[in-house]
Amino acid sequence: MINRLLVVLAAAGGLASPAWAEFQAEDQTPSGKFTTAGEIKMILTATKPNWVAVRLYDGQDIVYFTQLLSWRCGLHQVKYAINDGPMQTYDLPPCHLDLAAPNSLIDNEAMPIMGLAPESVQSLSIEILYDDLSTDSASYQRGQVLIP
């Protein structure tokens, strides 16, 4: 009975799935700097159509995670799949808690996925794990996230 309840909660996004079992929930005391799930979840929910972008540039498809990176301090992990392929982990750069803007990107942190064949990215699936262990996901077709 308890296992069934855990599966239902995980499917509803209320509890991390076994694939995320390596993570623990972090303190959700608001920092005022948007570094917790409690502070960023409403923003990422409202901006879900913009989590990722695809661009054909210089003869290759490029996948950008800019929106998720902008609020990464309240996330544990981001996973993605291209064209219904296997889920892969997108490595998030560290939060810079010592800076006034902890979510800022420094130097070449968080590069987009590059080197993909032109017009090869037809769909993207994204799964995120917040630092409170709740999850969310989204799927996109190329036309929905294409940068001209």
Structure confidence at residue 2 (pLDDT): 35
* 84-118 per-position pLDDT tens digit: 999 999 999 999 999 999 999 999 888 999 999 99
- The whole-chain average pLDDT of the chain stands at 88
Q: Taking residues 120-138, what's their average pLDDT?
A: 97
Q: What is the C-alpha to C-alpha distance for residues 110 and 113, in angstroms, rounded to an integer?
A: 9
Please count the other Cβ atoms lying within 10 Å of the Cβ belonging to residue 122.
Answer: 14
Model confidence pLDDT, tens digit, residues 4-50:
333 334 444 555 555 667 888 888 888 899 999 999 999 999 999 99
- Residue 124 has a pLDDT of 98
Q: Give the integer Cα–Cα distance in Å for 73 and 129.
A: 11
Model pTM?
0.83
